[in-house]
Amino acid sequence: MTEQKQELKINNSLTGEKEVFKPLNDGFVGLYVCGPTVYSHVHLGNCRTFISFDMVYRYLVHLGYKVRYVRNITDAGHLENDAEEGEDKIAKKARLEQLEPMEVVQQYTLNFHEILDRFNNKPPNIEPTATGHIIEQIEMVKAIMEKGLAYESNGSVYFDVEKYNENGDYGILSKRKIEDLISGTRSLDGQDEKRSPLDFALWKNAKPEHIMKWPSPWGVGFPGWHLECSAMSTKYLGEQFDIHGGGMDLKFPHHECEIAQGTAATGKKPVRYWMHANMLTLNGKKMSKSTGNTLLPEELFSGNNEVIGKAYHPIVVRFFMMQAHYASTLDFSAEALDAAQKGFTRLMDAVEKLENLPVSDTSSANVDGLISNCYNAMNDDFNTPILIAHLFDAAKLIQQVSNGKATLTKSDKEKLSESINAFVFDILGLKAISSNNNEDESLETVMELVLEMRNKARANKDWDTADAIRDKLAEAKITVKDSKEGATWSKD
Ligand code: AMP
Ligand code: ZN
């Protein structure tokens, strides 16, 4: 792996260049990914970003790095519309549903974990919460104030963007010029607490009705959204670390502010490589909670949705996502998912055949070349679509060997088998699924039996039993649909 390790190139959003990846500490990689704000169900767009970074994490581990993967949970401080004023997203949901804010947090954190698990994502090594790191955030505000780069106003503390920019480079990540930013914002009305409209909150004074608040040197309040990631990444990965990721829409202002905060507090640039996953679109528009243009993973797995109208296995959806480069946009449609389903089946058929391939004295194919093509694709900024194209070359070869149209030596067969398994399962994170598209094979066996019994009841015109079975299954979130061809089922 040493050789492969040195070849990895990452497209660094900070420089806009593909750079050879060199971690700050030999053999160790610090990876931080912005996590969800847990006030509603994660949608498929959110999932795409988290699946992209799961693949990045998996590949770094495959290359032999010891990776500390930190992904936070935003459970306070994220205000509506990502704005500087307004209600906390979690507090608002709690108010509307008459719940404790921490009940909202718990409910959607569990949902987030369950969904990512169904997509076969690996959990991060540390999953810190904003509310669990209030002290660290207060300390960071103090450090920035000590440098003279933040000021207090009416119990809130703001980052002084223009002062920072006398020596700093606010706009470096999103390639925005401070002059343009200033002219693009409304001017302050004199009542404003801020010195400049560009200044952003590090700490906000809490109004009496605000529920989630903590004491601080500036009075009772809560941290600004951008601060939590700076405080937690510094705590767990150090003042400077290797890779910071998130969706493209976080580049500005969230990540731009993180760079400014980290640099102001420590005098060092916090991150070496910034990576941004591109947006999943639906009907050509960004999938987003705020516009309602969303599809929930649960709705797609069960088929209970009007957008696609059919059920797809989470692993097929994952494969579909892997067929696009993480930095390209990707549009969601039934046709694209059907194509992914076919491709996935073809690939898995080949993987299944690998074990029992016949061996010969000579190889008619260049297995080393094929494997290095796969590595070259991944080393070229995690290019999974090109990797998958090479895996289809391998699938074709496997088919030919199994039909006697090509040959492999024992050692080539072993090499091929080891590499294909690593790329398909360890790196792309796929897994074999049952033909009925359901995740649990034992459930499938049981369901066959249950539906057979229900069919018998129907044949005997025992409608009470047939309906009781259907209703009980519905309680267990299993939907049965009757059609001329017989009954089918799907699980939410
Ligand atoms: P949020 O919970 O809204 O802060 O989002 C969690 C993550 O999902 C962030 O990294 C966002 O950038 C990302 N995200 C939001 N919408 C999409 C989308 N349509 N496609 C891909 N990623 C998204
Ligand atoms: Zn963040």
Q: What is the pLDDT of residue 189?
A: 66
365 CB under 6 A from ligand 1? no
Q: What pLDDT does residue 238 have?
A: 98
Structure confidence by residue, pLDDT tens digits, 155-173: 999 999 999 999 979 999 9
- pLDDT, tens digit, for every residue of 12-42? 999 999 999 999 999 999 999 999 999 999 9
Among 77-86, 316-325, 389-398, 421-430, the minimum mean pLDDT is found in: 77-86
> DSSP letters of 375-424?
HHHHHBTS-HHHHHHHHHHHHHHHHHHHTTSS---HHHHHHHHHHHHIII
> Which listed ligand is nearest to 35 at the C-alpha?
1
pTM value?
Answer: 0.90
77 CB under 6 A from ligand 1?
no
Q: How far is CA 467 from CA 87, 242, 445, 472, 481, in A?
A: 47, 58, 21, 8, 12
Average pLDDT of the chain?
93
Residue 479: pLDDT over 80: yes
Q: pLDDT tier at 440 (50, 70, 90 boundaries)?
A: low
Distances from the Cα of 329 to the Cα of 248, 282, 333, 339, angstroms: 10, 11, 13, 18
Q: Is 45 in the pocket of ligand 1 (CB under 6 A)?
A: yes
Q: Once rounded to an integer, what is the mean pLDDT over residues 201-208?
A: 94
Q: Which residues surround ligand 2, an ion (CB under 5 A)?
A: 34, 229
CA 426 to chain centre: 17
d(CA 48, CA 330): 9
66 contacts 28 by C-beta, under 8 angstroms: yes
- Which of 33, 39, 42, 46 gets mutated to test ligand 1 (max ligand atoms within 8 A of its CB)? 46
Nearest atom within ligand 1 for CA of residue 35 = 6
Task: Answer for the pair 134, 223: CB distance below 8 angstroms, yes or no.
Answer: yes
Which pLDDT value is given to residue 452?
84
Q: Which domains does the chain have, with CATH numbers?
A: 2-277 (3.40.50.620), 320-427 (1.20.120), 438-491 (no CATH)
Q: What is the pLDDT of residue 492?
A: 67
If you measure from the C-alpha of residue 45 to the centroid of ligand 1, how many angstroms do you get, rounded to a whole number?
6
Q: Tell me the ligand closest to 227's alpha carbon.
A: 2
User: Would the CB of 36 count as within 6 Å of ligand 1?
Assistant: yes
Mean pLDDT of 89-106: 95
Dist. CA 112–CA 176, nearest whole Å: 33
Pocket-testing residue among 249, 293, 325, 326, ligand 1, by greatest number of atoms within 8 A of Cβ:
249
Lowest mean pLDDT among 338-342, 408-412, 478-482: 478-482
Q: Is the CB of 348 under 6 A from ligand 1?
A: no
The reported pLDDT for the residue numbered 231 is: 98
User: Which numbered atom of ligand 1 lies nearest the CA of 280?
Assistant: 20
Report the separation in Å between the CA atom of 331 and the middle of ligand 2, taken as the mean of its atom positions. Answer: 25
Distance 255 CA to ligand 2 centre (A): 7
CA 245 to centroid of ligand 1, rounded, Å: 11
pLDDT band at 279 (very low <50, low <70, confident <90, very high): very high
Q: Which two tokens stand for residue 389?
A: 């194209």
Of 270, 129, 145, give the one whose Cα is nearest residue 202: 145
**279 touches ligand 1 (CB under 6 Å):** yes
